[in-house]
Amino acid sequence: MGGDGVRCADLAIDAGTHFIPIRIFQPEAGSGGLLVWAHGGSWITGSLDQWHGATTEFACVSGWTVISVGYRLAPQHRHPAQLDDVLAALAWAEANDDGESPLLAVGGDSAGGTIAACAALVRRDRGMPLAAQVLAYPPFDPQCRAPSYRRDPTAFPSAQLLRSAWQSYRGDSIPMERSGERLYATPLEAERLDDLPPAIIAVGELDPVIDDVTAYARALHEAGNDVTLQVFPDTFHAAFLSPYSDMRRWLGNALHDHISHQSSPQ
């Protein structure tokens, strides 16, 4: 059991060259779809165990079954390893759906949010749309050029720390392709942002990545996508993990309220 009325199970996805650990959080009173979640940790840290409590509550609040992905970490595994693992988890969820969860979504916090946003782009390019993308304070610019990175030199994560993390994650690579398919390390590499799933996005007012997040939300909206953005006052980075997190509950309720109705008869 995961606690709080959520059943929990650990599995491993056979990706051919390696196994991807996943943890499934199924709310007993759930009526939503399947959400594949990528944890944060600057692409170099983080685990299913560290995110266990947060993903348990998120599943309970949203009513969606959450599949937390233990994707490969940098610098031992660089991009696109992390993206490949999340895409594999989405494909696994689709293939193993029992028909009771017709909706499939992707989400993540911090670096995991970056991966999730990129996965949504790849799925669009493949003609495999998702029901939603749920993004908690994802960084997007490897150079960390926005003014919000300089407002408070003591704020976490610092621009210096994030630039180092980006380097560990993607190196100096230009936008990557494989078999003619673009494998995004950041959505800023995308030539277009139309035809993407509805985006539910949250960021703290005091988070250094806020300018990245709000700029991306605007770009998504201008491209014709459905965007729900919430900026939390007096809130720092990593709020998704905080005990009694207002942001985590808001994201869960937003997914339940604004997306789950798609599964209802029209």
Task: Point out the residues that are catalytic.
Answer: 110, 207, 237
Rounded-to-integer distance, Cα 139 and Cα 237, Å: 11
Sign of CA dihedral 39, 45, 47, 49: negative
Q: Convert 1-43 into a string of H (helix), E (strand) and C (coil).
A: CCECCEEEEEEEEECCCCEEEEEEEEECCCCCCEEEEECCCCC
Cis upstream peptide for 75 (omega within 30°): yes
**Which helix (H) or strand (E) is 67 found in, with range?**
strand 65-69
Helices (H), the chain: 52-62, 81-95, 111-125, 159-170, 210-222, 246-258
